[in-house]
Structure formats: C-alpha cells, structure tokens
Amino acid sequence: MLTVIGEGLVDVVQRASGIEAHVGGSPLNVAVGLARLDHPVQFIGRYGRDAYGDSVAAHLRSSSVMLPMGADDLPTSVATALIDDDGAATYTFDLTWELPGLPERLAFMLQGTTLLHTGSIATMLAPGAKEVLAAVEFAHPHATISFDPNCRPSIITDVDYARRQAEKFVTLADVVKASDEDLEWLYPGQDPLESARRWLKLGGSEGPAMVVVTRGSAGPWGITAAGEAHAAAPRVQVADTVGAGDSFMAALLSGLVDRGLDGAQNRKDLREMPAETLAELLAHAARAAAVTVSRPGANPPTREEMNAAPVE
C-alpha cells in the first residue's frame, strides 16, 4: 500500500476563454497519478460536506484512490489559478488545513504502508503541518518517505519559516523532489543545484538517498550518493503547467516501486542507486509531466498512456 497525506482542493482556473473548476492539490494529484499508474494508494486529507467536497471524493474514487478519512464540517479548500498566455499558472488560496482525529487513527491507517508521500501546503500550514510531521516520523521506520516542498509563497510568506519546515521533512525523507523555483525562493541567490546537493547531506547517513530538481524545459536533474544525472524534457505543445510537477513526482515514485525500492528494508539499495538508473527514472518521470502539460488541468497519465508516450 502507498499512502499520500496532504491537501486536496478545487482549482478554479481562470483563462482568457473562461473559468473552469478542477479537483487539485499537489498531494492529491500525486495520489491520483500513482493510482493511474496501477499502484494501490490511499489519500489521507480533508474535504468538506459541500459540492466541492463531493467533487474531490468523486475524483479520487474515479481513479481508485482509497479514502480512509471522510468529509468534515469545514468548507472544502479552493485555489484560484490564473493562466497566462504561456500556460503558466499563478495561484491564490482560500483553505483550511487540519486533520481532526488523525493521531488516534494513524497506526491503523499506516499499517502495511511501504511508501508515504507528502509535501506542499500540508507540510507548511498550521495546525495540520504538525500532524503531517508526526505521521512521517511514525512511518519512517518501515516506509520509504518522499517529499516535495512545492512552495506557495502567497500562503507561507515567511521564507525563513518555510526553509526550516522544508529541512525538517528533507531530513526525514528518502526521496526529495523540488523545482528550481522552490529552491530559488528558499535559498535566494544560490544555485538551485548546489542547494539540492546540500539537501542530500542533511541528516547524514540517515538523510535523503535522492534529491531531484525539476527545471521546466531544461529537463530534470538529480543526485544520489553514486552521482548526478540529467534527462531532457520532451518537446510538446503546452496547454498549461497545472499538475506537471505532481505527475513527475508520481511517475518518479512509480518507477521506484516498480523496481522494488519502496520500504525501509530497501533504503541501502535506494541510497546506492547508480546514476544510470537515476537517469532512467528522470526520463520516465519527465514523460509523465509532458503528457500532463499537453492537456488542460492536473490530469496525470495512466500506465497505458505512459507506455504509448514517445521516448526521446
């Protein structure tokens, strides 16, 4: 069982052609991406007893994502995305992040979990961020931990606080993915790749096994103890970039699971992954992101679509 913990919300997308509403949220998108790649996955997050909440639950269930937590009495969170002429999205948010009752149910929910992913708003915004950190600490002895800071400066405006929070999760994570924009915001004036190299050293021998940086059209780059690797970004016509990083994250994790590298018992093999294997994983994840940006909204590919995607 794979577990994703984090925010789910509704993206209200504003384009020149009109307004559309899509279910989103970075962790939720990763959960859907993993399920569409044929992995059993559960999503631990919150949504309200309202029309938007109904759409969140229906969207997850339509991709066979399991929902161990039901709706609550708070409004479903909303993100408004303004799409510019180049397809890039700028977000504003109206959200509540907490997970009532999670601590008491955590041991039951995480039994059998071999990989736990989290990130974005869920790891930064109080009071829920504290509960997410506790879940990661609980899962760490038996599960692979993955983390994507997916920074939202419009919500978490204090960069020093965001940096401290990110580094807490990086230290506990086995697999870390960040965009170059994330790292440039967290560490102003520093080369994002140098920041990623420093992250690899956080926690020493108990810290990350892999740090990956997505760089848009420049293609993803990654580092393990065995070396560095890069993959080209496939050339596609971009509809928008909504959910691209989340599709990349899901496909990266899928590649690890397909290779039997999930679970704490496989940390040594993960840490010793050769650069050639890392390059293959980066190329696979980049293809998933390319499929997503070629169509509107956060719409990650299925395994069948990935098999049909051209390899460059």
Which residue segment(s) compose the domain that 78 sits in? 2-92+114-299
165 lies in some domain: yes
- What pLDDT digit, counting tens, does each position of 144-199 carry? 999 999 999 989 999 999 999 999 999 999 999 999 999 999 999 999 999 999 99
In a domain, 312, yes or no: no
Band of pLDDT at residue 243, cut at 50, 70 and 90: confident
Whether 188 is in a domain gets the answer yes
Residue 312's pLDDT band, with cuts at 50, 70 and 90, is: low
Residue 106 domain-assigned (yes or no): no
pLDDT at 7: 96
Task: Give me the CATH number covering residue 257.
Answer: 3.40.1190.20
Concatenate the DSSP letters of all residues of the chain into one string: -EEEES--EEEEEEETTEEEEEEE-HHHHHHHHHHHTT--EEEE---BSSHHHHHHHHHHHHTT-B-SS--BSSPPPEEEEEE-TTS-EEEEEE-----TTHHHHHHHHTTT-SEEEEEGGGGTSTTHHHHHHHHHHHHTTTSEEEEE----TTT---HHHHHHHHHHHHHH-SEEEEEHHHHHHHSTTS-HHHHHHHHHHTTGGGS-SEEEEE-GGG--EEEETTEEEE-PPPP---S--TTHHHHHHHHHHHHHHHTT--SGGGHHHHHT--HHHHHHHHHHHHHHHHHHHTSSSS-PPPHHHHHHSPP-
- For residue 101, being part of any structural domain is answered with no
Indicate whether 268 belongs to any domain: yes
What was the pLDDT predicted at 278? 98
How many domains is the chain built from?
1
Total-model pTM: 0.94
Structural domain includes residue 276: yes
311 within a domain of the structure (yes/no): no
